[in-house]
Structure 1
Amino acid sequence: MDADAIDRFLDRVGGPVEGERSGLARLAEVDEALADLQEGENWAALQLMRANILVQMPGEGAADYIEQAIASYERTLRFCSPETDPLTWARVMSNCSVAWRRRVKEPRAANLERAMDCLASIGDHLERERDPRLWASSQANLGNAFLQRIVGDPRENIEHAIGRYRAALEIFNPRDYPDLYCRCAANLAHAYEIRIAGDREENMEDAIALGRLALRICDALPANTEWARLHNNLGSMYRSRIAGNRADNVESAIGHYRAALRVWKRARFADDWARVQHNLGVAYRKRSRGDAGANLKRSRVHLRAALSVRTLERFPTDWLRSQHSLALTEMQTGNWPQVERIAREVMRFLGGAIAGLGNWYEMRRLIGAASATKNLGVLAIAERGNPADAFAFLIEGRGLVHRALLGAGRAPAALGPDDAKPGFPSPGEAVIAFCVPPLDGRDLPVFVACSDDRAHPVRLARLTGLDRAALESLFECKAGRESSWLDGYQVLLEQGDPTAFSGAMERVAEALDGYLAPLWQILDSLPVSVRRLRIAPSGPLSLFPPTMVRGGERKIMHRFDLASAVGGLSNASTFAARNAGRRLLVVADPTGDLPHSRAEGKMLGALFQGASSLLGKRATKRHVLDAISTAGPLDYLHFACHGRFRWRHPEASGLLMAGGEILQLSEILGRIRLGCDTLVVLSACESGIAEYRELPDETYGLPLAFLGAGASAVICSLWPVPDRSTRVLMLKLYEYLHAGASPPSALRSAQRWLRDALGDELQSLVQQLDPRVRTAGELSAAPSPMRIKWVPDDPPDDPPDGSPGERPFAHPFHWAGFVCIA
């Protein structure tokens, strides 16, 4: 085939693919033509056509079609480059980015990064003036990719997206490219809608202004899907708007949704039609004008219409969201039996669904969508006077990710014979389970279950005044002030100054102490035989150790060994006394900037004869993974290093290794296998934080990864911990473990010791150490006990002296951040 024949052939087989059958027929023609060609420009042109067909192919084989498309694009790129044929090269790279974005094999995060590399290279090599439209399209697509990005800082990703969209809009003006302008402006509006940086109210006003501007341009075009999408998006912006009159905003939202339905008819756009029906159902539930009963009735009608398309089989995540909204509507009508029915249906589906899911991100989306509905079900069952059933339902719906990671994937109704039933904690043990209602105005219920309390095996207390809004005011960032938990936390991260965080800790502790008074009364009345306590936190309460609250310090720390529960299954080994195991692998100071962590590692290495240690630059990610895989059964796996938690993308959270590498959560799950007796100790910042907004009941963070890898328990921190006091805490922790204490008991004893220790007691600790341990830890036996006190403003080699009568680590900042999770 000569060049003209190739062009005629491409014209004939090109164009959109309509259905898998026609795509396969056209693919066969291309493959037949390729068989007659040798590699060269014509061969590359047919490879490009082949890839463009494959990337559009629907059907069950779509995943394999994408793999073939990527391979064909890469073959095409062997015959064009930015130097020889920049326009063809840029078009191939643009199409290749689409294939990488649609790829389902391998981790989604890595696929998105490859797509972004393709798009970024277009901007780097293609001059804007050479093909303005292609250049602007690459910028707009790169903005889309930044919004979908999994790795990196979410705040920065959104800012990058905004910058790319603005660059594209320099080309896509309303006169020359009205349709592309509308699409790009709508995407920019959405970026402002979800923007983290800046003032939330101002961002939403910018989003609405951009959406309305784009809509004015779209109004001049024939009514199309972009026009309908703008109306739907504007409806959602008005529904979430902070400024203006709330009632007016809801009416505006309803108006925009109804406009979208003028284009999105069920016959042609069933998915989009269902999306708008769902949004109308939510808007009518929030409507304050008109008859309240009529509004709720219309809300129910629209949500059921959405569910007629959003079926469980076709759209499980959308089905879950619409079911949740329907449950909220039914709750407002007081139809508690219907709320319970919806919640049980959702949890039955979820218990079976996660068993067959191999896609980690899909699992997370499904469980997140179902979590709030489960909590509504808990409220409904409790409202009907069944606290024991409500507690059982709450616990059965926790820890689903953990069960799936362990390979069980079991539905709550199919617990194994050796699993403790959720409503019956082991003798001598009590379970505290919180349930954060997914709406404002409902007091938070807390359940206490105890089989030793035969008169009241399950008790329910309502924490008056502590609803979702009150929790958010205590914990969430509020612009312009430093009174919430996360406000102070952000200052600590950015400035290294614990003052604001310590103040926030004290304010939150004081407020929670009052809210939790009913819980303290219940704990006081438990039988004296109860000495062990599991706490199942929910939402932002997972950030806060109960021992920090004055009531918790008195009622919990002085009496109970405490563990945080990942799920509802009781792990009997958590509170079991440990044998004096000697098999330790310690990873310390990989980044070379934590001298006290390195000393901590040396001390533990000297304490455990025959222990394996990776210190400093030897602790690369590869060496650490190899050491764990070849170590055999371990009693202890200890990390003393920097930790990092990614709030928006927990999969990217991890431990910092040598050379700037990060041992990420996803890698721990995929590449580490531990014995069931292994205790993992993460003497690292932020190592115990869990994502609580999307998955409030799942402990979704590094502890879950190590438990999923097989560990029996994980001791970890909820905030950036001070280097020096942590070294002393770890030393005492292992002292109690060696004496046979269980991990929760050893941690409680070490925390109480550190909290109460006077300066001369710290000196005695140093003097009593084995000389090898003291030398390894670089601890001086000279009478200067405060040399190990952590003071942020002092350099490591010049700590201040202090009085032996002081309690240098009495503040909870030094000891309360460590928790035991099992």
Structure 2
Amino acid sequence: MHLVMGNPSRARQEVRLDAAAIEQLLERVGGPVEGERSGLARLAEVDAILSVVPEGESWARLQRMRANILVQMPGEGAADYIEQALGAYEQALRFCSPETNPVTWARTLSNCSVAWRRRIRGRRAENLERAMACLARIGDRLNPERHPRLWASSQANLGNAFLQRIVGDPRENIERAIDRYRCALTIFTPHDYPDLYCRCAANLAHAYEIRIAGDREENMEDAIALGRLALRIHEALPANTEWARLHNNLGSMYRSRIAGDRAENVESAIGHYRAALRVWKRAGFADDWARVQHNLGVAYRKRARGDPEANLKRSRGHLRAALSVRTLERFPSDWLRSQHSLALTETQTGNWPQVERIARDIMRFLGDAIAGLGNWYEMRRLIGAASATKNLGVLAIAEQGNLADAFAFLIQGRGLVHRALLGAGQTSGALDAGDADPSFPPPGEAVIAFCVPPLDGRDLPVFVACADDRAQPVRLVRLTGLDRAALESLFERKAGRESSWLDGYQVLLEQGDPAAFSRAMERVAQTLDGDLAPLWQVLDALPASVRRLRIAPSGALSLFPPSMLRGGERKILNRFDLVSAVGGLSNASAFVARDTGRRRLLSVADPTGDLPHSRAEGNMLGALFESEASLLGKRATKQRVLDAVSRAGPLDYLHFACHGRFRWRHPEASGLMMAGGEILRLSEILGRIRLGSETLVVLSACETGIAEYRELPDETYGLALAFLGAGASAVICSLWPVSDRSTRLLMLKLYEYLHAGVSAPAALRAAQRWLRDAPGDELQSLVQQLDPRVRAAGDLNADCGSGSMRIKWVSDDPPGRAPGERPFAHPFHWAGFVCIA
């Protein structure tokens, strides 16, 4: 029997089948699909045979081939083609299993995983999880000794998927990818599978390059060692595209290398990039060629050897070559990266008009299109690059003498970046609702806007804008010596403990002792007090009509509350209501005095059952408000909290007294701890909570005001932005693990002022000054002055059933403290809370 093929419409009448004929068909229609027209012709042949072949093994093989063609189909119907492919793979899997036909079963599942990964419809995160499930099934059911190559391929592909994964902890995903690659390399040895070994080793090297766990320098050295080993093995193979990819990846590793001589590392990077170009020519590999051109542009900008002017000229040339392929229309994310790198190069040459043009182009792009690019991690990197370019644009406009335009570009750009972040979090973007003029402060307010350039050696520009200062509404203060490197030395972790802000912070987290952190706070405050002296002079000269100071921090300065500066403690906290700026500048509802007749509060307190002061805090707030709802202890599950917020209607106050957690490298995983160990994550706040524009959110919890600042140099991305994105007027939150006892006092005083109708920033300022200055005997007398209902609510003895759990009002006073001494004078107790709007 044989197969005769002619006009597909006559196939039913002319088909005569045998196994060899079907094999011939599959061989003819297999291979890469070169275009939609060619693919449709192949599908017609397969469909003609499928219509007459009975269901069984041969029918299943045809279904697999049909699915393989559909997955590759280009054109406007690609989404439909992939859906059809998934259906065809499902049909094929009915006739094979790991017991009866393990090879066919594994190959079908592997191809199915590719279809899920390429799927256009549905949520990308869910599609990737389905793809990973297919690969995991192969690894679980296939015998690695009987089918080593298929099993190892499933492990290597699963490693790739973990690196692309959107859900879960990124740190854990990278570790699981490393584990899968290592499993694959037990089979893919240089002797048995040299090509597959090189590919898998290169992917493992990349995983080490981006690894979060472990020592950064050691990870990079492991990555380079793996890459060099794979390259040595590859030398015996043809110089193909995998060889070029290895050289390109090694170039990037050397460019980022910590160990060794920096100048020599850059030279090694350039050498590897140039080797990659021996294979990746523009004619046949335009995208890869452009990638290497971009990398060479970055490397020459960082080059220490040779003539500096010539290096910058070559950097510009390579980046412009990359942009000849990486156009905004075809490759918007690559275009943004290369434009950012070009702006850095032009900044070093002092070509300010060109830097300004690039920055304005990127800000227009950010406003129009970035929310539709890639996954969230990819978008965050792109948004970070856009934010850094915006700062270069601000510097360029200022260098050309246009201070008002530079300030407006900075503020408007920050608003655009925040809206892009909110868009990436799939929210409606309520952040700037009601903004009348987001680029300049209203009367009675001054704005301090910091702008850290993404280059070392540049003085820190600080803008002071004030409509009341008619003679000079925008001033520029250059803080000499306080560049990005200087800020990193103050805040970033170093080899010696307690030497920086984050060193002391780490001791606080690990040991629970605030002493080291307090010392670090004092050192940083003393240094900044001197560095910011020119700024204090400008603030002292502001008109007396200015009563509110809005501060837009930049970089690591977002970790430091201005209220604890010694200069600030004398001149700022005593004179101004302080607000940390996010987005536009006219979110007026945050600063309006509250109607004392409206008292709608929803409080969530002590969900984890280990914060008795927080439980008392929730009880006491309930006694203050007539229209109040509370979720205490085990009742405060995540779902109940979400349901309570959605049913509450317009709220004046949403109060959380609980544990908070900030994830430094991955702020989207930050959240509030709810009952049962659940976490109300930042992404869920953005996606599932909607608040009224009058709602003040108070996060009486640890680390709720910390924000990502390394990838996002000028903006804040953390829990505060999430609640603002959900519609809140302002958020009061903390910058470090706060004391449960002093926080309870601060919160009670805060709500006393709020209850009297004071605006959020004014109430926080008053409560902080009161706690800072109050002697111990005054704190004791406060208890006697409380409303009896509030005082009774603060006694947890009845709730806990044990005298040992009874709350103390003044807890940190050692016996024999001198009368009149202030037990909470240190900024650790009160300065950590900030008002963000």
TM-score over 0.5 for the alignment? yes
State the distance in 2 between where 1:494 and 1:90 align: 47
Q: Which residue of 2 aligns with 1:646?
A: 663
Q: Which residue of 2 aligns with 1:808?
A: 823
TM-score, structure 1 normalization: 0.91
State the distance in 2 between where 1:777 and 1:699 align: 35
Moved more, 708-717 or 138-147: 138-147
Q: For residue 260 of structure 1, report the CA deviation from its aligned partner.
A: 0.5
Instruction: Answer whether contact 1:364 1:401 (CA < 8 A) is retained.
Output: no
The 5-angstrom pairing of residues 514-533 of structure 1 reads: 514-533=530-549
State the distance in 1 between where 2:25 and 2:599 align: 72
Q: Which residue of 1 aligns with 2:324?
A: 308
Instruction: Answer whether contact 1:153 1:646 (CA < 8 A) is retained.
Output: no
Change (3 A) 1:726 1:10: farther
Q: Which residue of 1 aligns with 2:282?
A: 266
Q: For residue 182 of structure 1, report the CA deviation from its aligned partner.
A: 0.9
Moved more, 585-594 or 311-320: 585-594
Q: For residue 42 of structure 1, report the CA deviation from its aligned partner.
A: 5.3
Change (3 A) 1:292 1:360: closer
Moved more, 8-17 or 185-194: 8-17
Moved more, 561-570 or 741-750: 561-570
Q: Name the larger-Rg structure.
A: 2
State the distance in 1 between where 2:455 and 2:343 align: 12
The 5-angstrom pairing of residues 405-416 of structure 1 reads: none
Q: Which residue of 2 aligns with 1:738?
A: 755
Per-residue Cα deviation, 1:339-369 (whole angstroms, up to 9, x for no partner): 2222222223322335877976665444222
Instruction: Answer whether contact 2:734 2:834 (CA < 8 A) is retained.
Output: yes
The 5-angstrom pairing of residues 210-221 of structure 1 reads: 210-221=226-237
Change (3 A) 1:780 1:280: same
Aligned-partner SS, 1:637: strand
Q: Which residue of 2 aligns with 1:293?
A: 309
Aligned-partner SS, 2:572: helix
Instruction: Answer whether contact 1:520 1:551 (CA < 8 A) is retained.
Output: yes
Change (3 A) 1:774 1:127: farther
Q: Which residue of 1 aligns with 2:7?
A: none
Change (3 A) 1:341 1:404: closer
Task: Select 2:37's aligned residue among 6, 21, 25.
Answer: 21
Change (3 A) 1:724 1:114: farther
Q: Which residue of 2 aligns with 1:141?
A: 157
Q: For residue 68 of structure 1, report the CA deviation from its aligned partner.
A: 4.2
Amino acid at match of 1:325: S
State the distance in 2 between where 1:405 and 1:158 align: 24
Q: Which residue of 2 aligns with 1:699?
A: 716
Instruction: Answer whether contact 2:408 2:440 (CA < 8 A) is retained.
Output: no
Instruction: Answer whether contact 2:607 2:673 (CA < 8 A) is retained.
Output: yes
Do structure 1's residue 623 and structure 2's residue 637 form an aligned pair?
no
Q: Which residue of 2 aligns with 1:613?
A: 630
Q: For residue 94 of structure 1, report the CA deviation from its aligned partner.
A: 3.0
Aligned-partner SS, 2:341: helix
Q: Which residue of 1 aligns with 2:808?
A: 787
Q: Which residue of 1 aligns with 2:578?
A: 562
Q: For residue 196 of structure 1, report the CA deviation from its aligned partner.
A: 3.1
Q: Which residue of 2 aligns with 1:486?
A: 502
Per-residue Cα deviation, 1:401-453 (whole angstroms, up to 9, x for no partner): 444588899xxxxx999744355310000011010110111111111100101
Q: Which residue of 2 aligns with 1:795?
A: none
Q: For residue 84 of structure 1, report the CA deviation from its aligned partner.
A: 5.4
The 5-angstrom pairing of residues 582-601 of structure 1 reads: 582-601=599-618
Moved more, 72-81 or 803-812: 72-81
Change (3 A) 1:424 1:8: same
Q: For residue 82 of structure 1, report the CA deviation from its aligned partner.
A: 4.6
Change (3 A) 1:66 1:599: farther
State the distance in 2 between where 1:201 and 1:408 align: 31
Q: Which residue of 2 aligns with 1:820?
A: 835
Instruction: Answer whether contact 2:166 2:377 (CA < 8 A) is retained.
Output: no
Change (3 A) 1:365 1:198: closer
> Percent of pairs identical after alignment?
85
Per-residue Cα deviation, 1:624-677 (whole angstroms, up to 9, x for no partner): 222111111111111222222233333222222223322222222222211111
Q: Which residue of 2 aligns with 1:711?
A: 728
Moved more, 358-367 or 246-255: 358-367
Q: Which residue of 1 aligns with 2:11?
A: none
Q: For residue 259 of structure 1, report the CA deviation from its aligned partner.
A: 0.8
Gaps of 5+ in 2: 1-16, 426-430
Per-residue Cα deviation, 1:503-538 (whole angstroms, up to 9, x for no partner): 332222222222211111111111111000111111
Do structure 1's residue 370 and structure 2's residue 386 form an aligned pair?
yes
Instruction: Answer whether contact 2:589 2:693 (CA < 8 A) is retained.
Output: no
Q: Which residue of 2 aligns with 1:690?
A: 707
State the distance in 2 between where 1:240 and 1:13 align: 46
Change (3 A) 1:359 1:633: farther
Aligned-partner SS, 1:639: strand
State the distance in 2 between where 1:393 and 1:458 align: 13
Change (3 A) 1:587 1:132: same
Per-residue Cα deviation, 1:771-796 (whole angstroms, up to 9, x for no partner): 222222226899x99924566xxxxx
Change (3 A) 1:366 1:248: closer
Change (3 A) 1:340 1:402: closer
Amino acid at match of 2:734: S
Change (3 A) 1:285 1:357: closer
Do structure 1's residue 182 and structure 2's residue 198 form an aligned pair?
yes
Aligned-partner SS, 1:397: helix
Q: For residue 694 of structure 1, report the CA deviation from its aligned partner.
A: 2.0
Aligned-partner SS, 2:324: helix
Task: Select 1:317's aligned residue among 306, 317, 333.
Answer: 333
Amino acid at match of 1:459: R
TM-score, structure 2 normalization: 0.90
Amino acid at match of 2:594: R
Per-residue Cα deviation, 1:140-173 (whole angstroms, up to 9, x for no partner): 2232233333444444433333232222212111
Task: Select 1:281's aligned residue among 297, 312, 315.
Answer: 297
Aligned-partner SS, 2:808: helix
Aligned-partner SS, 2:322: helix
